[in-house]
Amino acid sequence: MVAATATDYPDRGSTLTIRDVSHRFDLEGQPLPVLDRISLQVGRGEFVALLGPSGCGKSTLLRLVAGLDFPSAGSLLTEGKAIEGPDPSRVVVFQDPTLYPWRTVWSNVALGLEARGLIRTHRERVEDALRLVGLTGFANAYPHQLSGGMAQRAALARALVNDPKLLILDEPLGQLDSLTRITMQSELVSLWQRAGFTALLVTHDLEEALFLAGRVIVLSQRPAHIKAEIVNTRPYPRHRGDPHLAELRHEVFAHLGLAAAW
């Protein structure tokens, strides 16, 4: 496990405890259960992937962790304290970059600092974040001038500028073409290693989960419960052709009832 965590900055990330969390939506008076007693412990600086079929409630779980919604039952804690609402130490990167179209890339990235009144004293952090994601030359561009990959990089910079302790990634690479996606996966790993945050990634892409995460949590169909937990101790940087990853993939497929497909 040691190799799989960001050991350079062991204190930067925060822990996350999900304890017996269930959640249901109210759909025209009918309760629709989406999460079924999920329990998960994430350590400091760990990279955990939540893998599950579309519509299984993965994104709902992330919204609960972000503090945007509250669970019907159970509790969520970071650093032992209950999550009571959104907090800039837990930042979400959504599948859609959702940059504000009326702001330049620079001011989009500056959003969090501006919202907290830190922009005057911490301007240089915006430039640092832009450099980190390789968008230095595009500070004055508007979102509609960016490609999908660049927009997602800007969204990543907008999250990283806040120096999050927990980065919540909701299929952040889901809309990118496969080549950009592969590049961004490697960049994500090196960002995580450098910054040392705890990362919680939702994805339905098994390759991505195994390439990025130290632990893959396999979720069932809705209402989601944890079906399996696969620990991936391969050191970073990982290689896509690694036969050990192929073995793990086979294992996960078996959990998903898709063993015949392999």
Binding segment toward other proteins, per CB under 8 A, in 124-132, 140-148, 187-195, 241-249 = 140-148
Looking at the Cβ atoms of 12 and 103, the one nearer to other proteins is 103
H or E element in which residue 170 lies: strand 166-170
Site string for other proteins, 154-193 (x = CB under 8 A): ----x---x-------------------------------
The yes or no reply on residue 103 touching other proteins (CB under 8 A) is yes
Tell the smallest beta-carbon distance from residue 63 to other proteins (Å): 8
Tell the smallest beta-carbon distance from residue 142 to other proteins (Å): 5
Tell the smallest beta-carbon distance from residue 199 to other proteins (Å): 15
Number of Cβ within a 10 Å radius of residue 141? 15
Binding segment toward other proteins, per CB under 8 A, in 94-102, 127-135, 214-222, 245-253 = 94-102
The yes or no reply on residue 111 touching other proteins (CB under 8 A) is yes
Site string for other proteins, 43-72 (x = CB under 8 A): -----------------------xxx----
Residues 14-33 that bind other proteins (CB under 8 A): none
Rounded Cα gap, residues 131 and 48, in angstroms: 26
The yes or no reply on residue 121 touching other proteins (CB under 8 A) is no
Looking at the Cβ atoms of 61 and 210, the one nearer to other proteins is 61
Residues near other proteins (CB under 8 A) are: 66-68, 86-88, 90-92, 94, 96, 98, 100-103, 111-112, 114-116, 142-144, 158, 162
